[in-house]
Amino acid sequence: MNKNRVVVTGLGVVSSIGIGKDAFWDNLIKGVSGISKVDLFDTGDQFNHFGGQVRNFDAEKYVNKKKIRFIGKSSQFAIAAAKLAVHDAQIKMKEHDSERVAVYMGTTGGESQSIEEIDTIWLKKGREDVKVESVLQYPVNNISANVATELKCRGKNRMFTNACAAGNYAIGYGFDSIMMGKADMVIAGGVDVFSYIIFTGFNQLGAVAPERCQPFDKNRKGMIPGEGAGILVLESLENALKRKAHIYAEILGYGLSCDASHMTQPNIEGVTACMQNALKEPSTESENVDYISAHGTGTKFNDKVESGAINKVFGGHKVAVSSIKSMLGHTMGAASAIEAISCCLTVQNDVIPPNINYETPDPECDINCVANYARKQRVNIALNNAFAFGGNNSCLVIKKYN
């Protein structure tokens, strides 16, 4: 079977440091922090009051005003990022076979704000006062379905709920679909939004930092919750060349693993296997990797395990590493999708985004950290790491298109 080469031709982002690819990238390489005091709800009873909140998002720019009340906020973010990606790719959907355009999305909390609204009204007022619109919004499959409806994509449609690795899972599945000729084009990525439920959940785990995220720093205090969406347009190389599309990067493959160990703590063997599996499929030697976009949550145990796994896989090759969660916070199901976009722009521009808030090196995180300032360096191959609760690990291999 002939295998299609898979390329990225469109990027769409909704994030706390910018909406749209250009604003996002400009602030990313400047090391701008999107962390601020959360004002979507009262955080007075929480351990932490800061997060990567998306501001100045106007849903009516992307979704028909009459439909908004039937579409949850996660879907609104996803639709916005998808439309930005399709516009960036200069695609006119009516010119393509809609049954050959698939939509694959990842999430952790789904439409968590809708669930929260249902619970709150039911408890305070009673079941009869729950809005029909809220009930229609909350099923998790609505996110990919709403994106497909807005874009008129009639191909395969699927949600991935592998928590904080879900974006990479969706992109990897899209890679397979195009490589094997099952789709001509895939709209793939991830999304998650703030809700009181999600915010409280992460606070109760006791792994949240007071005000800032410091991945790999010796004095790191934990993660910072975030929200956003990241969408990539994937195509076969043949299709992209035929329509003279701009190509950001090529996807070589991906690796998956399951720790089968602990619900919240990553396992070094599982994380190591994930990166090794990613390199094995496209037969990429570890010394040819120039950059790792780390999972890098800023928690003591996670960063230590990821650093150890990187050193096991790469040995004496001190590959450059940074975590953009230092700027965005942890956007959960959107995280690896937004980070995949960052990798595509990194290999295109040969600029590595910084790991901000890095002050004191940690001997237990003995890596080549791109500390505080962006680094100009040729990047031919980048790895995008994502490790989720339950030990669901994913790693994407992204290459400069030549």
Q: Determine how β-strand 101-106 pairs with β-strand 157-160.
A: parallel
Residue 215: is its pLDDT beyond 70? yes
Band of residue 85 on the pLDDT scale cut at 50, 70, 90: very high
Sign of CA pseudo-dihedral 309, 314, 317, 320: negative
Query: Rounded to whole angstroms, how far apart are CA atoms 338 and 320?
Result: 19
For residue 3, with 0-12 CB atoms within 10 Å meaning exposed, 13-18 middle and 19 or more buried, which class applies?
Answer: exposed
> Length of the chain, please?
402
Helix-helix angle 112-124:196-204, to 10 degrees: 100
> 197 pLDDT band (50/70/90 cuts)?
confident
Q: What is the pLDDT of residue 208?
A: 93
CA 211 – CA 229 distance, rounded (Å): 22
Contacts of 123 (CB under 8 A, 6+ apart): none
Question: 95 or 21, which is more confident?
Answer: 21
C-alpha 154/C-alpha 172 separation (Å) is 20
Q: What are the chain's domains?
A: 6-242 (3.40.47.10), 254-399 (3.40.47.10)
- Looking at every residue in the chain, the average pLDDT score rounds to 93
89-144, pLDDT tens digit by residue?
999 988 888 999 999 999 998 887 777 776 677 777 877 777 777 766 677 889 99
Q: What residues pair up with 254 in beta bridges, in sequence order? A: 396
Mean pLDDT of 359-384: 98
DSSP bridge partners of 257: 393
- Cβ neighbours of residue 161 closer than 8 Å, sequence gap 6 or more: 106, 107, 108, 110, 140, 333
Q: Which of the residues are catalytic?
A: 164, 295, 330
Tokens of 356: 């901000």
State the first-to-last Cα distance of the chain, in angstroms, to the nearest integer.
24
- Find the radius of gyration of the CA atoms of the chain: 20
* Residue 377: predicted pLDDT: 97
Average pLDDT over residues 238-261: 96
Tokens 């949550």 appear where?
Answer: 297
pLDDT (0 to 100) of residue 282: 82
139-170 residue pLDDT tens? 788 999 999 999 999 999 999 999 999 999 99
DSSP states of 287-344: GG--EEE----S-HHHHHHHHHHHHHHHTT---EEE-THHHH-B-GGGHHHHHHHHHH
User: CA–CA distance from 240 to each of 14, 39, 178, 244 (Å)?
Assistant: 25, 43, 12, 6
pLDDT of residue 249: 98
Segment holding 81, helix H or strand E: helix 73-88
Q: Which residues contact 17 (CB under 8 A, 6 or more apart)?
A: 23, 24, 27, 28, 32, 33, 34, 327, 328
Band of residue 206 on the pLDDT scale cut at 50, 70, 90: confident
| Nearest CA-CA partner of 80 in 180, 150, 176, 130 | 150
Distance CA 328, CA 325 (A): 5
Which positions ≥6 away from 336 have C-beta within 8 Å? 106, 164, 165, 166, 167, 168, 171, 190, 384, 385, 386, 394, 396
Encode pLDDT of 272-314 as tens digits. 999 999 999 788 888 999 999 999 999 999 999 999 999 999 9
Region 39-44: what's the mean pLDDT? 91
**Helix (H) or strand (E) segment spanning residue 240:** helix 237-242
